[in-house]
Amino acid sequence: MKQVRYIITRPCLQEGSLRLLKYLDSTFPESGPVLLVDERGREYTAEVDRAAGRVWGLRNLYHDGNLGVNDVLLLTPLAPGRYQVEAVVKPHPAPLPASRTTTEAVPEARRVVVTATPHVREVRLEQPRSQEGQRSVTELPRRVHSGTAPEKAPEASAARVHAPAPGQTTSAPQGSPAEAGRERAASRAAVPLPSRLEDQLAELARLTGYRLTFPVPQVARLAAELGTYGYTVQLALEPAALHTPRWREGADYALLVTGETERPQGQPHLTREALAALIEHARLAPLSPLDLRGYWQAGHLDLESAASISELVGAHLAQRGAFSFVLLTLAAHPAHSVINVSRLAERLGSGVNIAELRSILDTLTRAPFLALTPLSGGEYLLRTEIRDLLADLADYADGLRRRVRQPAAVNENAAPV
């Protein structure tokens, strides 16, 4: 049976459980005890409860793996009642420098994703030093092969890409572009969520492109101003708002904001927990009103729905990870060398399939990259070193960014009102 992915939610961590979503039916076909074996050979006994729709007893697995919200479990059935489980950890932010005190606690080491591709990830342990505001790093690279990689892939931007020797695993030192990309991704995802519901809606609107207004008290409107593709969502922030005269006026979709455990009969709803998850997903990868329209239309946007949105985010990040993996592999070649696609595919292994590889190489032949020139027989000429290419792209992007004006407050493509 094939490997499946499961995205960890806050209730999962709190209960030490795993929700039996529909796509997991064939993975856990019967109730009863099961055994999970992690990548280090540690065994965890769990209990499948199909009536409750849960797998219980995973608290130790989550704790030992230092797993958090939006981290991923990769489950591979080995035999009836026995599963291989691997963890894909999203990048974590660097800790704030500790203030100097007379007695300082020693911070615990944490796992950090160094590089990630659709099939390979490398992690290491970082031990912060509170006394001098520096970190001592113990690098323990590990490769975990999997079918997908939903975590934020490191961006290959700016200079200082260190080319590995042939056959050598790339490990990103501190200050490298891989770590810089990880830190930027982590900083976006780690910003605390606003506590007020109105502020959370404003954050969602900012990240996903809606225009937020409050037409009447306790009613919020999210308008996707996309011309013929536009639509509006009306949200009742309190149950009493359902009885206001203008509750559904001019709205394509109307939902009540509730808690995750509340299930109002016959009333479409958005849970606060799902709203928080949407914001976290949108911070990791771009989401648009077009991506979310089907969820509003379904009428019940809860954590289970948000988990499927996480699958979409994971696909975006996996594509970026594949692109980074190819660039880092090309960095081992000097400028003006001939790249053979077959040999490059062998070096990449199962990390990138041949169709993805050809698409990425074709992208690199065009502006603004112009890194490759296609030759006959499935070969390419590498026109410049990848390190120099990324430095030039960084300068180009920075110069263009300075020339970009602040977007107008009104969307010129919006339908007239």
The string of pLDDT tens digits covering residues 373-413 is: 999 888 999 999 999 999 999 999 999 989 887 665 444 44
Burial class (CB in 10 A: 0-12, 13-18, 19+), 323: buried
Q: Two tokens at 395? A: 């300068």
User: Which residues make beta-bridge pairs with 234?
Assistant: 221, 254
Please, where in the chain does CATH 1.10.10 lie? 332-403
Please, where in the chain does CATH 2.40.330.10 lie? 4-87
**Rounded CA separation 199/276 (Å):** 11
Q: Coil, helix or strand for 77?
A: strand
Q: Among 411, 185, 407, 398, which residue's Cα sits nearest to residue 281?
A: 185
Residues in the chain with pLDDT < 70? 1, 90-193, 195, 406-417
Q: Among 267, 266, 264, 287, which residue's Cα sits nearest to residue 275?
A: 287
Query: Residue 101: its pLDDT value, please?
Result: 41
Q: Among 381, 331, 368, which residue's Cα sits nearest to residue 160?
A: 331
- Run of H or E including 45: strand 43-49
Parallel/antiparallel/unpaired status of strands 32-37 and 43-49? antiparallel
**Rounded CA separation 32/167 (Å):** 45
Query: Residue 179: its pLDDT value, please?
Result: 40
- Laid out side by side, the sheet with 43-49 consists of 4-7, 72-79, 82-88, 32-37, 43-49, 54-56, 17-19
Q: Among 79, 78, 39, 76, which residue's Cα sits nearest to residue 61?
A: 39
The separation between CA 214 and the C-alpha centre of its own chain, rounded to angstroms, equals 31
The beta strands (E) that lie in 308-365 are given as 337-340
CA angle 51, 54, 55 (to 5 degrees): 120
Mean pLDDT of the chain: 76
Contact status, residue 86 vs residue 144, Cβ threshold 8 Å: yes
Parallel/antiparallel/unpaired status of strands 379-382 and 231-236? unpaired
Query: Residue 4: its pLDDT value, please?
Result: 82
**Domain 4-87 bears CATH identifier 2.40.330.10:** yes
Q: Quote the DSSP letter at residue 339.
A: E
The separation between CA 147 and the C-alpha centre of its own chain, rounded to angstroms, equals 15
**Architecture of 332-403 per CATH?**
Orthogonal Bundle (1.10)
Parallel/antiparallel/unpaired status of strands 211-216 and 300-301? unpaired
